[in-house]
Amino acid sequence: MRNPRSLVITGASSGIGEALALCYAEPGRRLALTGRDAARLDAVAARCRSQGAQVLARVVDVASREEMADWLAMVDDDAPVDLVIANAGISAGTGGAVESEEQARRILSINIDGVLNSVYPLLPRMQSRRRGQIALMASQASFRGLPGAPAYCASKAAVRVFGEAMRGDLAGDGVGVSVICPGFVKSRITAANGFRMPFLMEADAAAWVIRRGLARNAARISFPWPMAAAVWLLALLPPAWTDWILARAPRKG
């Protein structure tokens, strides 16, 4: 969608979500933002207002179906949502150990349920208007499971495939679906990585790549291209080769 007037962005208190909020903040545009950190979210909202946007900011638990449904209904009743960017998510590594059940369940709950809870309350409303766009934050880690981050990779693979399928289902309803697959982008998540991250991007640069992709209703927005190409090739290799390569790769701590 080239000129969405009313947007919802989850995970807007830091990283790509914060950068997207600032990227879209313009006069005549209304942003509904949510995030986990109230102080940071308020600061992002203030910066967006200084750029001329109308902003509604609230801390909402994306893993709560009821909280998200109530909040999104209120937002859409006030200003019908043109674009929802389901960006909220968490990551954690294993430090070389086997991932704990508790950590795996927490990551899967937030990263998958958070997307569903951000999409489904708005979906029938968009369908009835025959207008709207849904953007789902996946990852280049969605193309191949990586040792050290099994739940994270699995959650992002689920988000990517869900979005790809939903795009086909909603094509006749006037609702676009785009899947976003970034590589390494500067954020609180990547700041915890203790290894070299090739092609690391600034969050504001990533936000503009995403905005341009959403403007043309791209099916998949995968960047930067050298990293995307490397991940694609890795996924095509025979599993034994991939195992050998990844056994020598650094683990997320």
Walk along the chain (253 residues) and give the pLDDT tens digit of each residue: 889 999 999 999 999 999 999 999 999 999 999 999 999 999 999 999 999 999 999 999 999 999 999 999 999 999 999 999 999 999 876 666 788 999 999 999 999 999 999 999 999 999 999 999 999 999 988 988 788 789 999 999 999 999 999 999 999 999 999 999 998 887 776 656 666 666 678 999 999 999 999 999 999 999 988 777 878 887 788 888 888 777 766 655 5
Cβ atoms of 105 and 153 closer than 8 Å: no
Q: What's the one-letter identity of residue 148?
A: G
Q: Are 160 and 146 in contact (CB under 8 A)?
A: no
24 as an active site residue: the answer is: no
> Which one of the listed residues 152, 162, 184, 223 is annotated catalytic?
152
Closest by CA position to 89, among listed 187, 200, 220: 187
Which superfamily does CATH assign the domain made up of 6-248 to? Answer: NAD(P)-binding Rossmann-like Domain (3.40.50.720)
Angstrom distance (rounded) from CA 6 to CA 210: 17
